[in-house]
Amino acid sequence: MSRFLRSLPALEWGRAYTRETLMSDGVAALIVTVMLIPQSLAYAMLAGLPPEVGLYASVAPLLLYALFGSSRTLAVGPVAVVSLMTAAALGDLAAAGSPDYWAGAITLAFLSGAMLVLMGLLRLGFLANFLSHPVISGFISASGLIIAASQLKTLLGVEAQGAHLLDLLPALWRALPQVHGLTLAVGLAATVFLFWVRKGLKPLLVGAGMGVRAADLFAKAGPVAAIAVTVALTWALGWQGQGLKIVGTVPQGLPPLTLPSFDLGLWRELAMPALLISIVGFVESVSVGQTLAAKRRQRIEPDQELVALGAGNLGAAFTGGFPVTGGFARSVVNFDAGAQTPAAGVMTAGGILLASLLLTPALYFLPKATLAATIIVAVLSLVDLGALQRTWAYSKSDFAALVSTLGTTLAAGVEAGLIVGVGLSLVLHLLRSSRPHIAVVGLVPGTESFRNVLRHPVRVSPRLVSLRVDESLYFANARSLEDRVNDAVASNPELQHVVLQCSAINDIDTSALESLEAIDQRLREAGIRLHLSEVKGPVMDRLRSTDFLRHLGGEVFLTHYQAVASLTPELLAG
Amino acid sequence: MSRFLRSLPALEWGRAYTRETLMSDGVAALIVTVMLIPQSLAYAMLAGLPPEVGLYASVAPLLLYALFGSSRTLAVGPVAVVSLMTAAALGDLAAAGSPDYWAGAITLAFLSGAMLVLMGLLRLGFLANFLSHPVISGFISASGLIIAASQLKTLLGVEAQGAHLLDLLPALWRALPQVHGLTLAVGLAATVFLFWVRKGLKPLLVGAGMGVRAADLFAKAGPVAAIAVTVALTWALGWQGQGLKIVGTVPQGLPPLTLPSFDLGLWRELAMPALLISIVGFVESVSVGQTLAAKRRQRIEPDQELVALGAGNLGAAFTGGFPVTGGFARSVVNFDAGAQTPAAGVMTAGGILLASLLLTPALYFLPKATLAATIIVAVLSLVDLGALQRTWAYSKSDFAALVSTLGTTLAAGVEAGLIVGVGLSLVLHLLRSSRPHIAVVGLVPGTESFRNVLRHPVRVSPRLVSLRVDESLYFANARSLEDRVNDAVASNPELQHVVLQCSAINDIDTSALESLEAIDQRLREAGIRLHLSEVKGPVMDRLRSTDFLRHLGGEVFLTHYQAVASLTPELLAG
């Protein structure tokens, strides 16, 4: 226990805490709190939960992350993609907004928290590496499009249901004649205003003499302004009486103490979504954390991050929240506003707590269309269709992974999209590495180097074939090497020596070792000797532990030049 | 069509056919025919089919392989492992020996043939590479044990049923009191005789002045002698009247013309077994074919082999046979007996045809226990438990793949064994390559080479870190590199340069490129420059097609020494 306490990141920064750090942290906390209030409400709505749940999920997780987390500036709470995944996981389970639905969200946070802590303790953080960038990119873009589409009905003031985008869009289209004019006006005005704040306000403020960083932070308060103005107008003009949907009564008070369900049937149903939420949340959080840490030459510990995010989610589960993770926008704001330590997160949690105690009556008149506009503007920045073109130019197989993740997520939902994407990118990687690049090389005249005979004018002998293998040898590519050697033998009747240049071979597994033995034996029976050159130290150590080198028909040379010089000296003389 | 005909291997050897070749092929065909008759009967019995089906399956497949195959000496027909897989696939479908069961075997041969031809036309031969050697080794050993155990009941003369080894062995144990003495005596005598022929006869013959090769071939006729002697004794002493089970009436005549079932429900049920039979059969056949071809500096074409084996199986399906592939023992005998071309196969098919026309009445008194002994002696040579120890010594993860394939095949059957084995070996390979070896390297004093700082006394500067990455960079290992760079930065406060030595990097996928961009950006924000050295040509070409090199904080050096000489000249001077 004492060893565990000593390793708590909180103790490290806590000891060196000063009054200056307190000031920086306090200012950052104030700015982040102002930004988080509308975001928390909006993401709770996106997840299909009452707005106050978003506030609850922003308190305990922040505190627990501050205690366990290894990033100094990461801000944990509800984020768009995880909220969408929560809604997708619970959609078939209960009606959005019902008590069963909320109980499901709490259980989902609990399962995800438990999985994250377990993965952290087992040091399984590397599993997240199997989500490739093209898969993440396709998944996030598709999620952004789905989220934006899901908010359109609120913006239009119509009813439209659809489990997937392909159901939702036609339903929206059919509902178009019922569009509620006032709702659309409020929603559109808020959307246009928020886009302008993002793109137009900052240059204006900078032009008026404000610093670039201050202008940036000021622009982040845009959603608060949109909320304040639309709340005031709705209250003053009685828009809720004209059919504008408002948030209504938000319970005032501390986050409730809650317990997850221990129904094993429910656990089975939520296990897969919880695992995917854990992995996606972890990947998002770690990449934000690493980016911010590196700017100040700090570092984060991925396995410690798993434990901290897990603790955050467990905290959410016991205080009426839903799945959370480290958010990009809020962490960057926290960092830019000068946060030095996780104490900023503690103070932010205090701010949100105050808001949920005091501010909720003011949210009564908040139009839902304003929240929808906040979500749409936030998530459209996630959609990066330019990645399609960039990836196509660089790698066709990565493009295939990106497009199929994007397409499957849009057509069949977030879980199917992730599973298809990860599966396909693994299969494509295996196929690529199962066809290794093997070059026939020859001596560059006047040097001791060897180059591909197809690309360079080099010298070769009919008595010797040099093959350079550009990949570690393992079961899926070992037979390619057998084929290449067979080809070389069948097409060179005078052949006496085959030399494998092993400089790029980092590993030889059992299958490849047996292939090498088979090659050696076949060559020997055909009167040809197999030699190796430039074998790496660790590979040589393992080969020495076997019979292979004793049986080998030829020799092992330190450099490829030594091999050629010793076996075909006429090549150097001529 | 004419292009297709020109590419037929048969035309190539057919044109150069001479009287000498005919003599060699004829002698080989005679010897292989004598060896194949008992084998065909035994493997049909193992597959749960009437004995004549084994003869049928040895005619058309041999002819079709002779036409399409690229190996000069491969002999195609029923083999032990594929017969076991056939029995496993049909076991739940119908009672062994029933007409429905035979119809299922015909359909299985048809599906497997169609899949093989399709894989050949689509050039998917490389898929077989995903069966690693440890998985094949574990699978073949387990199959040998299962086959031997399945023949024990025939050898003991008892009734015992069991779908898996774990059911069968207790059933055999319970049946022990009912052992039939005469059956056991015949079976044991045959077994001991066959083992002695394998191990003891050859040295005896060689000692008596016979050539080694002739002694080898003579010993292969052991099963024929065992059959002749036990048939004669049973006939003369009326053993069938004392409860010894005999083969009984074997229909005399040509193989029948048959049609596979076109019932889609049956196809669905047999699709997975047919695929596994195709892949296992192809792997077995290709490895035999390659070994024999290499001995005469010939080569085989894996995709052509798929077509030829597929044609063989389709031939089996239309002539009352069951799934076949290239067999190890018969192909080696064919080769050693001097076969020069597939015409030997054509003549062998003729020999088997004659046997099924004329010889079947002589098989009436053949004891089933003799066939069981033939099978047991043949398959126990497949069991290679020494592979466990050799693999353990060389690679723990390959050992895990071998043991789990062996264990799962024994406990849950051939399909489960293969699937678990392939799945596990892929996962273990991915895990291994997701943790690449990355070494911090330093300058070996007085040279231009760099070595791992942990293994060698080298010179390093606090201003520069050199990292050598010993693996291609792709999504699963890209973040490891980010971690290592972050570590280096966090632990070297004076750091100004990070140089990646890229000599072992054969590929950089999109994810790894983005990781490199992230590393470069983070380093730049911390006031550190990222450099590359020894980038391979193809990798450099792809990097040039992106923005990466334009944004790169540092430079790309041809050699690592140039990088260090230019960035930290004090290291060379000191």
- Any CB–CB contact under 8 A between A494 and chain B? no
Tell me, what's the pLDDT at A1? Answer: 39
How many angstroms separate the CA of residue A373 from the nearest CA in chain B?
31
Compute the Cα dihedral for B327, B330, B336, B339 and give only its sign. Answer: negative
How many angstroms separate the CA of residue A427 from the nearest CA in chain B?
10
Residue B90 banded pLDDT, cuts 50, 70, 90 = very high
Sheet strands side by side (includes A464-469): A450-452, A438-443, A464-469, A497-501, A529-533, A556-557
Residues 302-331 of B with CB under 8 A from A: 302
The radius of gyration computed from the CA coordinates of chain B, to the nearest angstrom, equals 31
pLDDT (mean) for B115-132? 87
Does the beta-carbon distance from A486 to B299 stay under 8 Å? yes
Q: Which tens digit of pLDDT belongs to each residue from A204-222? A: 888 888 887 778 777 777 8
How many angstroms separate the CA of residue B532 from the nearest CA in chain A?
17
Residue B456 banded pLDDT, cuts 50, 70, 90 = confident
What is the spatial distance between Cα B370 and Cα B363, in angstroms, rounded to a whole number? 12
Residues 446-485 of A with CB under 8 A from B: 455, 470-472, 474-480, 482-483
Does the beta-carbon distance from A480 to B129 stay under 8 Å? yes
Q: What is the mean pLDDT of chain B?
A: 87
Side chain identity at residue A386, one-letter code = G
Residues on chain B touching A434 (C-beta within 8 angstroms) = 126, 129-130
Task: Give yes or no for residue B232 having a pLDDT over 80.
Answer: yes
Q: Which tens digit of pLDDT belongs to each residue from A414-430? A: 888 888 998 898 888 88
Residues 185-214 of B with CB under 8 A from A: none
How many angstroms separate the CA of residue A544 from the nearest CA in chain B?
10
Task: Give yes or no for residue B5 having a pLDDT over 80.
Answer: no
What is the spatial distance between Cα B521 and Cα B505, in angstroms, rounded to a whole number? 21
- Any CB–CB contact under 8 A between B541 and chain A? no
Domains of chain A by start residue, with CATH:
2-363+370-381+392-426 (no CATH), 438-573 (3.30.750.24)
Tell me, what's the pLDDT at A211? Answer: 81
Does the beta-carbon distance from B132 to A509 stay under 8 Å? yes
- Any CB–CB contact under 8 A between B550 and chain A? no
Tell me, what's the pLDDT at B7? Answer: 61
- Any CB–CB contact under 8 A between A293 and chain B? yes
Task: Give yes or no for residue B3 having a pLDDT over 50.
Answer: no
What is the spatial distance between Cα A562 and Cα B251, in angstroms, rounded to a whole number? 68
Q: Which has the closest alpha carbon to A489: A467, A515, A469?
A: A467
Does the beta-carbon distance from A475 to B131 stay under 8 Å? yes
Residues 364-403 of A with CB under 8 A from B: 390-391, 393-395, 397-398
ipTM of predicted complex: 0.74
Does the beta-carbon distance from A480 to B542 stay under 8 Å? no
| Residue A469 or A310, more confident | A310
Quick one: closest CA in A to B390, which residue? A546
Q: Which tens digit of pLDDT belongs to each residue from B510-532? A: 889 988 998 998 899 889 999 99
Angstrom distances, CA of residue B97 to CA of A144, A359, A478, B92: 61, 81, 42, 13
Q: Please report where in the chains the tokens 């144990």 appear, as a residue.
A: B173
Task: Give yes or no for residue A5 having a pLDDT over 70.
Answer: no
Tell me, what's the pLDDT at B163? Answer: 66
How many angstroms separate the CA of residue B154 from the nearest CA in chain A?
37
pLDDT (mean) for B161-184? 84
Does the beta-carbon distance from B526 to A130 stay under 8 Å? no
Residues on chain A touching B560 (C-beta within 8 angstroms) = none
* Token digits of residue A10: 């909180």
Q: Which tens digit of pLDDT belongs to each residue from B92-122? A: 888 888 889 999 999 999 999 999 999 999 9
Closest residue to B486, CB basis, from A290, A398, A507: A290
How many angstroms separate the CA of residue A511 from the nearest CA in chain B?
5
Task: Give yes or no for residue B63 having a pLDDT over 50.
Answer: yes
Task: Give yes or no for residue B123 having a pLDDT over 90.
Answer: no
Q: What are phi and psi of B292, to 5 degrees?
A: -70, -40
- Any CB–CB contact under 8 A between A492 and chain B? no
| Residues in CB range of B507: below 8 A, 6 or more apart | A432, B472, B473, B474, B539
- Any CB–CB contact under 8 A between B548 and chain A? no
Closest residue to B525, CB basis, from A294, A397, A538: A294
Quick one: closest CA in B to A137, which residue? B511
pLDDT (mean) for A44-60? 92
Task: Give yes or no for residue B238 having a pLDDT over 80.
Answer: yes
Q: Which tens digit of pLDDT belongs to each residue from B388-424? A: 998 898 888 899 999 999 999 898 888 888 889 988 9
Beta strands in B266-399 (DSSP E): 325-326
Residue B5: count other Cβ atoms within 10 Å of its Cβ: 9
Side chain identity at residue A138, one-letter code = G
* Token digits of residue A265: 């049937």
Compute the Cα dihedral for B42, B43, B44, B48 and give only its sign. Answer: positive
The reported pTM is 0.76
How many angstroms separate the CA of residue B251 from the nearest CA in chain A?
44
Task: Give yes or no for residue A228 having a pLDDT over 60.
Answer: yes
Residues on chain A touching B542 (C-beta within 8 angstroms) = 394-395
Residues on chain A touching B421 (C-beta within 8 angstroms) = none
How many angstroms separate the CA of residue B438 from the nearest CA in chain A?
11
